[in-house]
Each structure stands twice: as structure tokens, then as C-alpha cells.
A and B are shown apart, each in its own frame.
Chain A
């Protein structure tokens, strides 16, 4: 069993939103539904300033607050450490949206159910490569892989770059950020 995670290098991110668009196409999302949210902020001190783009998406926490609050069991831990939403069980009460500290869960305006980054499990089942956002990124910000395998590209990159979850130990998040 793998324990999937992702690394996002914001130093390389140019804020082109290609990952978000690719994700929307891959997962057949509505135009107003995006699994990746961008935050921009100014960093540095004048005159050496730049804009940092931070793409945020489901962190697939090992201790996911959404899973513990979901009353119907729609939010659940799937295989390989992926947090899933069973669209057939969700009643759209938005309790998970309130519980998620990263505000990365979105409501599908047609079905009313809540959804979020799936680490492209849909694609994986089809046999194609996982995570279209990784493929789509023009500058190679993103690495997807098995966090439990010390020889995987992502594990090595985390060690090399000192990447860390976005908000410390707020939750046991599996998206690592280089900043």
C-alpha cells in the first residue's frame, strides 16, 4: 500500500492556473467548481519584492477533520492514504466544509454534494497517469508520489528542499510546500 502525497514548489509557480484548468477538465468539473484554489501574497521587503502564488488543494490529511465530522460517512479514507468523498452518500450539509482548516472543499452547484481534489483516482482506475495538475504544470512545480517509499522522487525532493506542510502541524497534511 502506497501513501500518496504531493510536493508543490511555490518558488517555481508563476500563477498561470494551468493546473487548475487541467484538473477541471480531467475531473469533468463545472465551470464554477475548482479543486485548486490560488492565494497570492507579496513577500520580501522593498525594493526586493515578489508575488508568491500558493496553490491550495485537499491536503489528504491522515487525521482529516472532514472525515471525523461527516455524519453520513461520505468523507472517508480510501486506499493509499487518499481522502475521498462518496458522492452517493453526501447530503451537502457542509459540515466538512466548515471543519476543513484549508477551505478547499467545494459544493457542486448542480448536485449539491461536496467534492475536492481526488488525487485523480478516476484517472488511476482508467490506467492513465495520476494527477493531471502535475502533468499540466509548465514549470514543473509539482511532484506526486509515494511518501512511504524513501527512494521515490517526492521523498527525495522533500529531503533536499526541506518542504513542509503549509500550516505546520495543524493537521497531518500530505501536500508539502517549498517556499
Chain B
């Protein structure tokens, strides 16, 4: 029997959007702390967060066909606190409510309490980690069943959340975009950390006791997923943004950095981060091989 991935693009979109939403709110909270004058960028983060998470949740419900046919069953999601998915529902529910309040207050030009931003950012981190743990507890798949994956998803979530905020800011508020130097430097570090985490994940998974680990890694680096892995994830999603931002942040003259041309380069780099973030989720879902097919009962 050839193995068909259990979850594919719909769930990859959901994992991506949930992480992005969490990251976007964390970005807003970070901007409030380090760049309180960038009020429009803070608003962008607060608004993106609930919108993308709600879209992700709709996708999730659409994929859970039996629940879609009987929506009341979704209430049962809160019955097994031994399941990571139940915790995910708690985090996603809490996050969506907090982020909606934050976005609502901001759009109504009311002051958003600091505690609300902190609470929503904490829930945002929980949502991002949860997307990794959801897969991480499945012992069936060595590519998922390790402690690196939730951390990788967390870093990627923060990175994509920040990239989304920056992408919108480039078009809507370029003057604020030019002034958030600390924010951009943090954003710059994340793809580098991701590269280290991905390399570690591949090495650890490849040497898993079961050949399933090796097979999964081979799917990524040399099999059906290789083109997407090397080109879309590693090159477009990690290396290109790192290279472009290194140049813009550290080697280009200040006047150029604030020019429209530089903004387009930044946009390309952030769009790359977003593409990479989605492709990472999709590849992790489809490349994972299960223990018992590759090692069939020897």
C-alpha cells in the first residue's frame, strides 16, 4: 500500500494561518513596547490576527466533515483535556476573543489596555506552539514526534506574523515602516534561527530508530517534495529573506533603505517568508512517513 497523507493543504493553511495570527498579535504587542509611535502598524497587527485565525478555523471546520454536517458536535471538542486538540480549541478560542476585543477597541480609537495586549500575545504564542504540538504527539510519524517541531512552528509563526504586518505597512504606512528598526532586526533573526532548527530537525529525524524517519527526510530533501523544499522553503522562504535583509539593514546606505525601491525589496523578502511559512506546514504534513508502513512487521 502506498501511503496517502492524512491531512493536506486545507490543514496546512489552517496551521499556517493560526501561527500567522498568533505572530501578528505578538508583533503588535512588541511594536507597542519598542515602537509605541507606530500606532498604525500596531493596528495592522491587531486586525490581521483575529481575521486570519477565524479564516483558519473556518477551514478546519470545513475539513472536519462529520462536524460540518452536525455543528453541535463541535461543542464536544472541550470534553477530553488529555487531547492536544482540546487544548488547541481553548487557546484558539481565548486568542480569537482577546484579539477581536483588541482589534475592536483599536479600530474604535479607544485605548487598548496593556493587560489585554499581553494576554492576547501570550495566547498567540500558545496557539503557535499548539500547532506544532498537535502534530508532535503523534508517535506514528518520526518527523512530527519530536520536541523541535513545536519550536520550529513557533519561530516560523512569529516570522510570518511579523512579515504580514510589515507587508501591509509597506503599502499603507511606509513612514512608520522606515522607523521600526528594532522590530525589523528581530524579524531578520528569525529565518536564521529557522534554518538551524530545520537542519536539526532533519538530522534528528533521519537518525530515528525507525526507517520512517529516514524516509521522511528523504522525501523532503530528495524525493517528491524536494523541489518545494529546496526552492520554495529554503531558498525563497529562508535564504533569500536573510540575504536581502542583511544587505538592506547592514550594508545599504540609509537613504536607499528608505527609498521606494528598498521597500519593494523588503516586500519581496517578506512575501518570501510568507510563502516559506505555508510551504513548511504543507511539507511537514505530506512528507511524514508512518512507522508501520516503512517497517512492516519484520
Residues of A at the B interface (CB closer than 8 Å) are 37, 39, 41, 54, 65, 68-74, 88-95, 97-103, 107, 111-114, 166-167, 170, 177, 179
The residue from B70, B83, B137, B138 contacting A70, defined by CB atoms under 8 A apart: B83
CB distance from A70 to the nearest CB of B (A): 6
The residue from A74, A97, A101, A113 contacting B6, defined by CB atoms under 8 A apart: A97
A100 touching B140 in the complex, CB below 8 Å, given contacts A72-B76, A95-B85: yes
Q: How far is the CA of A166 from the CA of B74 in the complex (A)?
A: 35
The residue from A39, A95, A114 contacting B1, defined by CB atoms under 8 A apart: A39
B83 near A95 with CB under 8 A, answer yes
Q: How far is the CA of A90 from the CA of B67 in the complex (A)?
A: 7
For B74, the closest partner residue in chain A by CB is A91
A99 touching B80 in the complex, CB below 8 Å, given contacts A71-B89, A92-B67, A112-B64: no
A91 near B67 with CB under 8 A, answer yes
Q: How far is the CA of A107 from the CA of B69 in the complex (A)?
A: 14
The residue from B63, B73, B135, B297 contacting A179, defined by CB atoms under 8 A apart: B297
Q: How far is the CA of A102 from the CA of B64 in the complex (A)?
A: 21
Of the stretches B18-26, B190-198, B233-241, B288-296, the one at the interface is: B288-296
Q: How far is the CA of A107 from the CA of B63 in the complex (A)?
A: 12
B162-181: which residues lie under 8 A (CB-CB) from chain A? none
A71 touching B6 in the complex, CB below 8 Å, given contacts A99-B139, A101-B140: no
A72 near B68 with CB under 8 A, answer no
User: Do most interface residues of chain A lie in helix, strand or loop, or is the interface mixed?
Assistant: loop
Contacts of A71 in B (CB 8 A): 76-77, 79-80, 83, 85-86, 89
Interface residue B16 (Cβ < 8 Å from any Cβ of A): no
Interface residue B141 (Cβ < 8 Å from any Cβ of A): yes
A89 touching B76 in the complex, CB below 8 Å, given contacts A68-B82, A103-B293, A179-B297: yes
A177 near B297 with CB under 8 A, answer yes
For B137, the closest partner residue in chain A by CB is A69
Q: How far is the CA of A90 from the CA of B1 in the complex (A)?
A: 26
A113 near B66 with CB under 8 A, answer yes
B206-262: which residues lie under 8 A (CB-CB) from chain A? none
Q: How far is the CA of A169 from the CA of B88 in the complex (A)?
A: 30
B64 near A93 with CB under 8 A, answer yes
A101 near B7 with CB under 8 A, answer no
Given contacts A69-B138, A107-B65, A177-B297, 9 further A-B contacts (CB under 8 A): A71-B80, A72-B73, A90-B66, A91-B64, A103-B293, A111-B65, A111-B69, A112-B64, A170-B291
CB distance from B247 to the nearest CB of A (A): 42
Contacts of B118 in A (CB 8 A): none
Q: How far is the CA of A54 from the CA of B134 in the complex (A)?
A: 31
A39 near B139 with CB under 8 A, answer no
Q: How far is the CA of A91 from the CA of B60 in the complex (A)?
A: 11
